[in-house]
Amino acid sequence: MRYSWILKGLVLLFLACAVFGVAGWFGYQLFVAPHQIPPEELVGGKLAPPPDLSLPEFEKAMKIKEARQPLAAREALQKFTENYPFSTKLAEARKALGEVNADIFFSTIEAPEKIRYEVKSGDSLNKIERKFKTTGEMLMRCNNLDDPRRLRVGQVLMVSQPEFSLLIDRKTHGVTLLNRGKFFKDYTATSWTAPVPKKGMEKVEIAAKIKNKMAWFNGAPVHFGSKEYTGSSRWLELTARNFTLHSEGGPKPPGGIGLAPEDMEELSTMLGRGVPVTIR
């Protein structure tokens, strides 16, 4: 009798396992398996990132740039950086936008932000720069002028009146140029001897301005208009102590931020005394 009860118990246990096992298998197939990550979607054992939906727009903007349509490319790249701040192509888009911005600025390309000025009798470079509150250096480079004394009546000059500001990031060692508060171009420091923030002061911003512009040739200071100015090493000294942007390879100031010579030449041309700088 006792063995018959044991046998019945074993039969019931087997039947229960069979029933619940089949139910468990069907439950797994219905609710678990569809949500499992296929091996091909795992990268290094980790979940692969979702597809970047911004890629078509990035490729479209880059094609416009490659087609040498600077104004259309600027608009497309600007919209991309604003609409897709988390895109995997954001850094590339910012670099391309910076190149386009500089190309438009340092050219005779007509743009909405530029003034078209026709040289009149009695005009000189100094007179025109005072009229438009710009610099002779900027006028010459933006209009491909070799000699400021050779202006001719009827000659058309494109005049820009930017409102530049600089943002220096002590963490990334990046320098960002803004125009009227909007992104213009990124620059990367090649060397950094400027002060680093003390512990606990990393997020404290420093408000400064460009205090002085200097150029050096063979260790001696030179000025715009002299034959030595072309190819000289440039400095932009800030009001913040021991913060000076300088051309790499030239004289080094105490507390310097070194940039490629072509980058410093570009910045030195665009920026003058009093331009606001934020150091963060």
Q: Give the residue among 128, 254, 259, 239 at the shortest CA–CA distance from 190.
A: 259
pLDDT in tens, 104-138: 999 999 999 999 999 999 999 999 999 999 999 99
Class of domain 164-279: mainly beta
First to last CA, the chain: 88
Share of the chain above pLDDT 90, in %: 72
Assess if CATH 3.10.350.10 describes domain 114-160.
yes
Give 197's pLDDT tier (boundaries 50, 70, 90). confident
- Which pair of tokens denotes residue 45? 């054992």
- pTM of the predicted model as reported, rounded to 2 decimal places: 0.80
Check pLDDT > 60 for residue 59.
Answer: yes
Rounded distance, CA 279 to CA 149, Å?
Answer: 39
Q: Report the DSSP beta bridge partners of residue 47.
A: 42
Across the chain, mean pLDDT equals 87
Domains of the chain, residue spans: 66-105, 114-160, 164-279
∠ Cα 123 125 130 (to 5°): 90
Which DSSP state fits 60?
H
Which H or E element spans position 262? helix 261-270
